[in-house]
Amino acid sequence: MPDSTPAASTSRRAGAGGMPRATIALQGDRRRSVDRYPEQIDDLLGYLYDALPPVHPLYGVKATPIVQSPPELWLLGSSSETAKLAADKGLPYVFAQFINGEGGEHYMRLYRDRFVPSPYLAEPRGMVAVFAICAETDEKAEWIAGSLDLTLLMIEQGMALNGTPSPEKAAAYPYSPYERKRVEDNRRRMIVGSPARVKDELYRLSEKYETEEIMLVTITYDFEDKLASFRLIADAVWG
């Protein structure tokens, strides 16, 4: 990513006291039932690059803070629709493997084959986002990842979540055969292990998707385990 502000927001808060056009920009036209996602992307690009035409109803709205180099706009998705949208608009694409553990190679290929150059990007640029948990040993990483295994299972089953469960709670959970199968399936969305193992898996993922950029999503019960995971991966990859 470039050395610029990583995110942007419109200039005034939505609601009472905010500028009407900025409020509309933040909230959208809620009276419309059709999917405005493609149009909203165009609007966001207009805000970031100060490129809204004078006839646009939100002309004059600017994203703040104003910086010399606007943040890059990546489209993240787990299906063909986002891949096609990113390609058609000439924007970078992130496949969300942490959401969908299957089909990523197909969607990335679809994006590259369909890509149309734009003022924002001359050639296709892809990234993959994946769950990653790293610890000093494979055994410790598996123990920590038990929290994420149970979290995903509880979300799938609509069970009440009061924060991320501890590894102890995950280890004591009475998994049914079906639930154990779901945990196994969900592991396709993750990379878990020691620094050497995670490094190897990341390089394999990079080759699989033909991308030099990977986004890591790390959910742990203990925040220190998350920080340690990032440090261990950074040391393994960059030394």
- SS3 per residue for 157-207: CCCCCCCCCCHHHHHHCCCCHHHHHHHHHHHHHEEEECHHHHHHHHHHHHH
Confidence at residue 212, expressed as pLDDT on a 0 to 100 scale: 87
- Centre a 10 Å sphere on the Cβ of residue 80 and count the other Cβ atoms it contains: 14
Q: Kindly give, in sequence order, each residue whose CB lies less than 8 Å from that of residue 88, ignoring residues fewer than 6 positions away.
A: 114, 116
Size of the chain in residues: 239
123-160: pLDDT as tens digits: 999 999 999 999 999 999 999 999 999 999 999 999 87
| Residue 10: pLDDT band with limits 50, 70, 90 | very low
Strand intervals (E) in the chain: 9-10, 63-64, 75-77, 93-96, 126-134, 190-193, 213-217
41-55: pLDDT as tens digits: 998 888 888 888 888
Confidence at residue 216, expressed as pLDDT on a 0 to 100 scale: 98
66-118: pLDDT as tens digits: 788 888 999 999 999 999 999 999 999 999 999 999 999 999 999 999 999 99
- Centre a 10 Å sphere on the Cβ of residue 150 and count the other Cβ atoms it contains: 25
- List b or e across 84-115, with b for residues whose CB sees 16 or more CB atoms inside 10 angstroms: bbbbebbbbbbbbbbeebeebeebbebbbeeb
- CA torsion, ordered 203, 218, 180, 150, to nearest 10 deg: 180
- CA torsion, ordered 186, 81, 103, 149, to nearest 10 deg: -10
The CA distance from 227 to 239, in Å, is 17
* Paired sense of beta strands 63-64 and 9-10, if any: antiparallel
The CA distance from 30 to 52, in Å, is 21
The answer to whether 104 touches 128, Cβ cutoff 8 Å, is yes
Residues 197-222 have a mean pLDDT of 96
Per-chain mean pLDDT for the chain: 87
* Paired sense of beta strands 190-193 and 63-64, if any: unpaired
Confidence at residue 228, expressed as pLDDT on a 0 to 100 scale: 98
**Phi, psi at residue 111, to the nearest 5°?**
-60, -50
Q: Is the pLDDT of residue 11 over 80?
A: no
